Amino acid sequence: MDKQLGKEYPKEARIQFLKDNCDKIEKKTYMRKFSPDELRQKKDQLAETSISISEIEDEKKELLSDIKQRLSPLKDDKKQLLTDIKHKAEEVKDECYKFIEGDDVGYYNSEGDLIEQRPAYPDEKQGTIFQISRTGTEN
């Protein structure tokens, strides 16, 4: 088969020639080769599109960074609230007051509430002048 048919005719006449001489007309999908000018134009479009994409992605990174900075403290608050709800209490750092009474040690917060009680260690069982004056007896 010939590589080209009807090239000697202008476009409309070529189409009529092809219609008149073909066996059947069918719809088909195929790849048409670009001319050097069309190819150069496509490459220029690709460069412009790539630049636009890069600019938009940089803008996206800045926006995501801003959103992340705004979201971070909220996530920290949420985490703390979930922990507080889970334990039904909150963690407090405060000066606590240790009292030794006999074989027990108690810690009280500044509100006067007992926050911890445990058995006294052997070195804590030694009597001090303050313990003697509180209980009126010596260990």
Same domain as 116, residue 82? no
* Confidence label for 138 from pLDDT (cuts 50, 70 and 90): low
Please check whether residues 40 and 69 belong to one and the same domain.
Answer: yes
Whether 87 and 120 map to the same domain: the answer is no
Q: Are 61 and 69 in contact (CB under 8 A)?
A: no
Is residue 72 included in any domain, yes or no? yes
* Whether the predicted pLDDT of 128 surpasses 70: no
Is residue 21, in this structure, part of any structural domain at all? Answer: no
Which pLDDT does position 94 carry in this prediction?
87
Please name which of 92, 91, 96 lies closest in space to residue 110, comparing C-alpha atoms.
96
Average pLDDT over the chain, rounded to an integer: 88
* Per-residue tokens: 36: 């050097």
Q: Is residue 4 part of a domain?
A: no
Query: What pLDDT is attached to residue 42?
Result: 97
The answer to whether position 8 is within a domain reads no
- Model confidence over 26-66: pLDDT tens digits? 999 989 899 999 999 999 999 999 999 999 999 999 999 99
* Same domain? 39 vs 86: yes
Q: Does 50 fall in a domain?
A: yes
Label residues 107-139 b or e (16+ Cβ within 10 Å = b).
eeeeeeeeeeeeebeeeeeeeeeebeeeeeeee
Q: What is the pLDDT of residue 78?
A: 96
Output the pLDDT for position 110: 87
Domain contains 36: yes
137 pLDDT exceeds 90?
A: no
Of residues 11 and 125, more confidently modeled:
11
Would 43 be classed as within a structural domain? yes
Overall number of domains in the chain: 2
User: Is there a single domain that holds both residue 46 and residue 80?
Assistant: yes
Mean pLDDT, residues 124-130 taken together: 66
Range of the domain at 84: 32-91
pTM of the full predicted structure? 0.48
pLDDT for the residue numbered 19: 92
Measured in degrees and rounded to the nearest 5, phi and psi for residue 118 equal -155, 165
How far is residue 115's CA from residue 84's CA, in Å, rounded to a whole number? 17
Query: Which has the closest alpha carbon to 114: 128, 102, 96, 126?
Result: 96
Q: What average pLDDT score do residues 81-91 get?
A: 90
Q: Are 112 and 99 in contact (CB under 8 A)?
A: no
